[in-house]
Amino acid sequence: MNHPSWAERDRRALWHPCTPTRDLDDLPPIPIRSARGVWLEAYDGRRYLDAISSWWVNLFGHAHPVINAAIRDQLERLEHVMLAGFTHEPVIRLSERLAALTGLGHSYYASDGSAAVEIALKMSFHYWRNRGEHRRTRYICLANSYHGETLGALSVSDVGLYRQVYEPLLLQPLVAPSPDAYVRADGESAADVARRQMSVLEHLLEQHAGEVCAVIVEPLVQCAGGMRMHDPLYLRLLRAACDRHRVHLIADEIAVGFGRTGTMFACEQAGIRPDLLLLGKGLTGGYLPLSVCLVSDEIYNAFDSEHGSPAAFLHSHSYTGNALACAAANATLDLFESGDVLARNRELAAHLARATAPLADHAHVAEIRQTGMILAIEMARDGKTRTPYPAAERRGRRVYRYALEQGALLRPLGDVIYFMPPYVIEPDEIDQLARIAADGIAQATTD
Ligand SMILES: *Cc1c(COP(=O)(O)O)cnc(C)c1O
């Protein structure tokens, strides 16, 4: 069913996310007809291996029979009911399961990840007001962090590309240096970087004692910031610092949660529990928009209030706790329970490492780094000195284009090529991806 006019109709009627309009001239969006497992199928019959889980949301492949069945089954009974004044089985079961998994007792739902970030920021601020601490109006975020696109979430993000234009509209957070191990000095270990950068954050907390509501971090991997990774030690030190200075720790695991980093949640690798935990993206296995802000009982209890009291958290979204989305999320958790997903992921992660290892010596590869099922290859003009290419050369985009021609969806972040595949990928498909990435990098770095 070839339909040549999809691209034209698309161009007339749509506005695509994160896409400068001129980019559509030479790379128009590819109309996808169907998808199964790790494969997307276009109307022209071409297939694309979804190596980045359709923007990090898909966990168990497209059209998974268990999740499909759960949504169908839910659809026959209840598609949605408002969550103020009402409740339903899927949302209760999901909340119980998330509480058991995270140790955080109460779930507050939204749809997109950014909305969950907004909830966390408002909740933390409001908590301190309810406790009579009205001077606490500031947040600390990390350099190179990304927490979403709505104004509050963008305020605590530090990726210039997304933030710059809107600067006059934004809250002014305190920005602490990133523990990013890529920028370690000669002879420094990732743990050394973590300690060094934590001492700066500690200093900020001292300087602004009593003014800070919360520190927000992306545990282990700053994903949108180029898949930059840090030592779990940083999170342990951060937890201790937040406790010492009495500020909330908000862990944004919207991208890294649900097994991406090798553990169910990234914070587990540091043995810490945040005060607020944000989940989204993979929460529904990549099917439906659902995000959640999980909070400690301590926070929940500070909102005990009656009608008219300013202590109540009067925040809502139309689709809060959508039943279909919760059914997909429950089915996703069923899949984690029905097999040893994390053990298989460890094997896949080892395979990813082996398949890409030969690239480490490439003159234009500065680093290959990996945390669990996230593997990133950083291209640079000079791999040894880590001198980047001028951004305007758009080397990463050349890899993107090459990969599409070869049947793979790799969507680099600048010059960082990365794999973040669905967990149902097979070893031979990983080999295929590694080959395409290697050839793509070779092509993109010769001129
Ligand atoms: C994607 C992302 C968000 C925003 O989620 P949306 O669903 O795109 O609004 C927030 N934080 C992190 C770490 C993310 O990767």
> What is the position in ligand 1's atom list of the atom closest to the CA of 148?
4
Residue closest to 262 by CA, chosen among 344, 177, 152, 364? 344
pLDDT tens, residue by residue, 379-405: 999 999 999 999 999 999 999 999 999
Predicted confidence (pLDDT) at residue 53 exceeds the cutoff of 90? yes
Per-residue pLDDT, averaged over 239-261, amounts to: 98
Please report the pLDDT score of residue 229 as a whole number.
98
Which of 96, 66, 39 lies closest to 328, judged by CA?
A: 66
Residue 430 has pLDDT above 90, yes or no: yes
Pocket test for ligand 1, best of 55, 119, 147 (most atoms within 8 A of CB): 147
Cβ–ligand 1 distance for 110 under 6 Å, the answer no
CA–CA dist 129, 88 (Å, integer)? 32
**pLDDT class of 269 with cuts at 50, 70, 90:** very high
- Contact criterion met (CB below 8 Å) for 274 and 250: yes
Please give the average per-residue pLDDT across 351-369, as a whole number: 97
CA dist 108 → 24, 236, 265, 269, 292 (Å): 38, 25, 18, 25, 5
pLDDT of residue 84 exceeding 90? yes
How confident is the model at residue 447, as a pLDDT?
82
Joined tokens for residue 192: 């050394």
Predicted confidence band of residue 28 (pLDDT cuts 50, 70, 90): very high
Q: Is 90 in the pocket of ligand 1 (CB under 6 A)?
A: no
Is the beta carbon of 254 within 6 A of some atom in ligand 1?
yes
Q: According to the model, what pLDDT value does residue 7 have?
A: 85
Identity at 186, one-letter amino acid code: D
Query: Which atom from ligand 1 is nearest to the alpha carbon of 281?
Result: 7
CA–CA separation, 107 and 59 (whole Å): 21
Q: Is the pLDDT of residue 1 over 70?
A: no
pLDDT at 202: 98
Ligand 1 pocket check for 292: Cβ under 6 Å: no
Question: Tokens representing 119?
Answer: 């909830």
Closest-CA residue to 292 (of 425, 108, 41): 108
Q: CA angle 243-291-143, nearest 5°?
A: 50
Q: What is the pLDDT of residue 322?
A: 98
Q: DSSP string of 129-144?
A: HHTT-TT--EEEEETT
How would DSSP label each residue in 71-112? HHHHHHH-S---SSS---HHHHHHHHHHHHHHS--EEEEESS
pLDDT-based confidence at residue 66 (cuts at 50, 70, 90):
very high
How far, in Å, CA of 267 to CA of 177, rounded?
19
Give percent of the chain above pLDDT 90: 96
Instruction: Give the H or E element holding residue 66.
Output: helix 65-77
Any ligand 1 atom below 6 A from CB of 218: yes
Task: Average the pLDDT over 283-303 and give the result.
Answer: 98
For range 57-64, the mean pLDDT? 98
Mean per-residue pLDDT for 46-75? 98
Question: What would the pLDDT profile of 343-354 be if each residue is shown by its tens digit?
Answer: 999 999 999 999
Using alpha carbons only, what angle is made at residue 190 by residues 184 and 193, rounded to the nearest 5 degrees? 60
Ligand 1 geometric centre to CA of 259 (Å): 16
| Residue 4: pLDDT over 80 | no
**Residue 5: pLDDT above 90?**
no
The residues, any chain, with a CB within 8 Å of residue 188's CB and separated by 6 or more, are 196
What ligand 1 atom has the least distance to the C-alpha of 252?
Answer: 13
- Report the C-alpha gap between 337 and 61 in whole angstroms: 17
Q: Tell whether ligand 1 has an atom less than 6 A from the beta carbon of residue 223.
A: yes
pLDDT at 391: 95
Mean pLDDT of 27-52: 96
Report whether residue 159 contacts ligand 1, using a CB cutoff of 6 Å. Answer: no
280 lines ligand 1 (CB under 6 A): yes
57 CB near ligand 1 (under 6 Å): no
Mutation pick for ligand 1 pocket among 141, 147, 149, 254 (CB with most ligand atoms within 8 Å): 254
Kindly state the tokens that stand for 283.
């929460």
Report pLDDT digits (tens) over 92-129: 999 999 999 999 999 999 999 999 999 999 999 999 99
Using a 6 Å cutoff on CB, does residue 438 contact ligand 1? no
Q: What is the mean pLDDT of residues 58-74?
A: 98
Is the confidence at residue 182, as pLDDT, over 60? Answer: yes
With a 6 Å cutoff on the Cβ, whether 274 touches ligand 1 is no
Residue 142 has pLDDT above 70, yes or no: yes
Whether 434 has a pLDDT exceeding 60, the answer reads: yes
pLDDT, average across residues 429-443: 98
Q: Tell me the two tokens of residue 74.
A: 């839910």
Distance CA 287, CA 134 (A): 40
Beta bridge partners of 339: none
Confidence of residue 2 (pLDDT cuts 50, 70, 90): low
User: What's the predicted TM-score (pTM) here?
Assistant: 0.98
Residue owning the nearest CA to atom 6 of ligand 1: 113
The residue whose CA has the least distance to atom 3 of ligand 1 is 148
Nearest one of 220, 229, 224 to 272, comparing CA atoms: 220
CA–centroid distance, 314 to ligand 1, in Å, is 23
> Using H for helix, E for strand and C for coil, what is the string for 247-267?
CEEEEECCCCCCCCCCCCCHH
Q: What is the mean pLDDT of residues 247-255?
A: 98
DSSP 40: E
The rounded distance, in Å, linking the Cα atoms of 250 and 231 is: 18
Dihedral over alpha carbons 164, 166, 170, 175 (to 10 degrees): -10
Contact, 440 vs 365, CB < 8 A?
no
pLDDT, residue 394, reads 97
From 109, 141, 146, the mutation candidate for ligand 1 (largest count of ligand atoms within 8 A of CB) is 146
